[in-house]
Amino acid sequence: MACIFIYTFVIYERFKKHRGGAMLTKLEEQILMTVWKLEGKGYGVSVFQYLNEMNEKRITLGVVYDILERLCKKGWVKAHFGEPTPVRGGMRKKYYTVTKRGIEELVKERKIYEKIMEGFDSLFQQHKKLKKS
């Protein structure tokens, strides 16, 4: 078991080095796409709500904020504060937008996804036929 873990870690590190040291997790990718989709109107709670509407697995608000901060540190998302509102007791919302680097990362991830998914449609069709019978 330890050998498998070490081997996986080595492969991951090589891939990470090949990719320039940064890799998106699936959840980071989903949050990055959600921020892009909300077109500058995305703040922590709206990203959280959108993801939970789209996703079968429930995600906590704390995880969303943690990943948003991580994406900011990587330079893929930029945060800015909106105007204070009485509804929020004078507090301001922190809005997020995807940066040019973030869009480039999404495009890279999409290309990788498309390569991986080549030929999957036939497998998916076979699976659907088996489920019907």
Q: Quick one: tokens of 102?
A: 């973030």
89: left (phi over 0), alpha (psi -120 to 50) or beta: left
Q: Computed over its alpha carbons, how large is the radius of gyration of the chain? A: 19
- pLDDT at residue 11 above 80? no
Query: For residue 1, what pLDDT band results from cuts at 50, 70 and 90?
Result: very low
Residue 79, classed as helix, strand or coil, is: strand
Domains annotated for the chain, with CATH where assigned, are 25-132 (1.10.10.10)
pTM greater than the 0.85 cutoff:
no
> For the chain, where are the E strands, in sequence order?
42-43, 77-84, 92-98
43-101 pLDDT tens trace: 999 999 999 998 888 889 999 999 999 999 999 999 999 888 887 777 888 999 999 99
